[in-house]
Amino acid sequence: MILRGRGRFFFNVAKDLLSDLAASKNVNISYKELTGLANILVRHTIGFGVLEVLLQDPNLQDIMANAPISLSPIFVRHNEFDECVTNLIPSSEDADSWAAKFRMMSGRALDEANPILDTNLELNKISARVAIIQQPLSAGGLAYTLRRHRSKPWTLPLFIKNRMIDSLGAGLLSFMIDGARTMLVAGTRSSGKTSLLSALLLEIMPNHRIITVEDTLEIPVAAMRNLDYDILSMKVRSALAGESTEISAEEGIRASLRLGDSSLIVGEIRSAEAKALYEAMRVGALANVVAGTIHGGSPYSVFDRVVNDLAVPITSFKATDLIVVANPIKSADGLHSWRRVLQITEVRKHWTKDPLEEGGFADLMKYDVESDIMKPSEDLINGDSEIMKGIASNVKGWAGDWDAVWDNVILRQKIKQEIVDFSEKVKIPELLEAEFTVKSNNVFHQLSDEVTADIGLPTSEVVFPKWCRWLEKESKKYNL
């Protein structure tokens, strides 16, 4: 169960022990009851006890167990109920047992010399990111934070459904991914950066090779592999950890450049790997998507962190094409928050020292709090995006024709929105998931190719009706 092959062995041992105990006490127990009790026994011996129980809830986002463990209830963050306190108080023995298991599973140190451990927890189809601290960093001893990953990959239609992005923003980002742009997804913790990055990966064609570099595995590589993606995952040493047998993120990124023509996706930019990432951006410009996540609340804060904190030269930073900012917004009473994509900004190349003072940042879309959506800027509407012009210059029929380029963005917008609307209309939520999103994107490209061969350009007035007919036909398979 937890320990894969050995889990079944311990489960069978638990069943035998409980069966013998029931017989010795003359207690009649059904097979269903025996199985349930055996699961509980395994969960609280070789497993992770109450953590496993909490992680069964798909609406749960975070679990916080503060130090000292035996004196503090577990806190959780929930999709429906926000911040909650539970009536669960683990014992110090539980905390010590969990730490030993996480050390063994990760192969990483957790001791006074290395008081921080970042790792993953895999429970069948449930996965979570785990952060552990202990003394001397945590004065009260062991403390845990777990972030539950969605069981299935996020998609742009799911983002639209949950109002985290509007369909025009989704169409624009899809266009940029197809255009092989370099981008950073910025935001605070719990802002949905990795979720958005994962959704954008599904806009890459499955036959295009992708390499991911992460210190803690969060990108849904296994799910994408099941969707026939050509994807390779590289696990590197945590920037917060001490010395280990793992290679550094910087070395991992450089190694990825020797592994063939690939899109490069970096889970989180924290330290010296930033320079290597920008090497990859400069090498991969105009050829493949290079993207990553970074902490920051605005395009300028990303520039400040990359250039001033991480010592990336200004000329290298200009290899960034787009900065996408995702952050929570709050209600006036402070009791509620919602995740939103707030800004899509292109980085222009003419400035020399300060992009803010020299007009180096051009917003393509920006969040409007009154309407609760992002609105396109004048630069985007008037066709003054240098990045989009650069994409168009490499496409036959688009060079110098802004109307054709904008029409393609609108086509993508209409398709993403139609998936959401149609899913609600026919009550088939599976249409929002990764499997259907990949099918839809493949059909979109196939139809675009066919229409281009017929009339020279994949115009929305021709492609969209054809795609809608495919949607109607394909959706019937989900009603069987």
Do residues 387 and 462 share a domain? no
400 falls within a domain: no
pLDDT surpassing 90 at residue 269: no
pLDDT surpassing 80 at residue 415: yes
pLDDT of residue 2: 44
Asked which of 6-20, 109-123, 340-354, 390-404 is least confident by mean pLDDT, the reply is 6-20
**Chosen domain end from 92, 117, 148:** 148
Cβ contact 434:198 at 8 Å: no
39 falls within a domain: yes
237 falls within a domain: yes
Distance (Å, rounded) from C-alpha 362 to C-alpha 341? Answer: 16
Do residues 387 and 423 share a domain? no
Q: Tell me the three state secondary structure of residue 474.
A: helix
Band of the pLDDT at 228, cuts 50, 70, 90? very high
Domain ranges, residue 304: 156-392
Do residues 142 and 196 share a domain? no
Residues constituting the chain: 480
Do residues 168 and 121 share a domain? no
Burial 148-171 (b: 16+ CB within 10 A, else e): bbeebbbbbbbbbbbebbbbbbbb
The pTM (predicted TM-score) of the whole model is 0.86
pLDDT surpassing 50 at residue 231: yes
H helices of 188-289, where? Answer: 193-201, 221-226, 249-256, 273-284
The set of residues, in sequence order, having a beta carbon less than 8 Å from that of 346 and lying 6+ positions away, is 321, 322, 361, 362, 364, 385, 386, 387
Written as one string, the DSSP assignment of 107-155 is ----SSSS-EEEEEEEETTEEEEEEEE-TTTSTTS-EEEEEEPPSS---
Do residues 426 and 456 share a domain? yes
pLDDT of residue 5: 46
Distance (Å, rounded) from C-alpha 320 to C-alpha 184? Answer: 7
Distance (Å, rounded) from C-alpha 267 to C-alpha 95? Answer: 28
Cβ contact 419:431 at 8 Å: yes
The set of residues, in sequence order, having a beta carbon less than 8 Å from that of 279 and lying 6+ positions away, is 253, 254, 257, 316
pLDDT of residue 225: 94
Cβ contact 418:471 at 8 Å: yes
Residue 99 is encoded by which pair of tokens?
Answer: 């730490």
pLDDT of residue 130: 93
**Section 34-56 average pLDDT:** 86
Asked which of 236-240, 359-363, 402-406, 423-427 is least confident by mean pLDDT, the reply is 236-240
pLDDT surpassing 80 at residue 34: yes
Do residues 376 and 424 share a domain? no
Distance (Å, rounded) from C-alpha 96 to C-alpha 234? Answer: 29
Residue 448 is encoded by which pair of tokens?
Answer: 């675009």
Percent of the chain with pLDDT over 90: 59
User: What CATH code is carried by the domain that includes residue 317?
Assistant: 3.40.50.300
Average pLDDT, the chain: 89
Do residues 93 and 242 share a domain? no
278-330 pLDDT, tens digit per residue, is: 887 777 544 688 999 999 999 999 999 999 999 899 999 999 999 999 998 88
Band of the pLDDT at 232, cuts 50, 70, 90? very high
126 falls within a domain: yes
Do residues 109 and 253 share a domain? no
Among 41-50, 190-199, 230-239, 282-291, name the most confident range.
Answer: 190-199
Cβ contact 329:377 at 8 Å: no
What is the separation, in whole angstroms, between the first and last Cα of the chain?
32
Q: Tell me the three state secondary structure of residue 326.
A: strand
pLDDT surpassing 70 at residue 241: no
452 falls within a domain: yes
Cβ contact 115:101 at 8 Å: no
Q: Which of 296, 293, 319 is nearest to 309 (CA)?
A: 296
Classify the phi-psi angles of 232: left when phi > 0, otherwise alpha if psi is within -120 to 50, otherwise beta.
Answer: beta
pLDDT of residue 243: 55
418 falls within a domain: yes
Do residues 117 and 260 share a domain? no
**Section 173-201 average pLDDT:** 92
Q: Which residue has the tokens 């062991």?
A: 142
**Where is 295: in which H helix or E strand?**
strand 290-295
Band of the pLDDT at 430, cuts 50, 70, 90? very high
Percent of the chain with pLDDT over 70: 96
Do residues 308 and 222 share a domain? yes
pLDDT of residue 167: 97
443 falls within a domain: yes
pLDDT of residue 1: 43
Q: Which residue has the tokens 């993508």?
A: 412
Q: Tell me the three state secondary structure of residue 362.
A: strand
**Chosen domain end from 105, 125, 148:** 148
Do residues 242 and 369 share a domain? yes
The set of residues, in sequence order, having a beta carbon less than 8 Å from that of 383 and lying 6+ positions away, is 389, 402, 405, 406
Please state the domain count of the chain.
Answer: 3
DSSP letter, residue 66: P
H helices of 375-433, where? Answer: 378-381, 386-392, 402-426
State how beta strands 75-78 and 361-368 pair: unpaired
**Section 101-106 average pLDDT:** 90
pLDDT surpassing 50 at residue 423: yes
Do residues 279 and 350 share a domain? yes
User: What CATH code is carried by the domain that includes residue 57?
Assistant: 3.30.450.380
Instruction: Show the beta-strand stretches assigned E in 297-396.
Output: 322-330, 337-347, 361-368, 373-376
Distance (Å, rounded) from C-alpha 110 to C-alpha 88? Answer: 25
113-172 pLDDT, tens digit per residue, is: 999 998 989 887 788 999 999 999 999 999 999 999 888 899 999 999 999 999 999 999
446 falls within a domain: yes
Using the Cα atoms of residue 21, residue 26, residue 27 and residue 32 in order, give the sign of their dihedral. Answer: positive
**Chosen domain end from 107, 125, 148:** 148
Q: Which residue has the tokens 């007919």?
A: 469
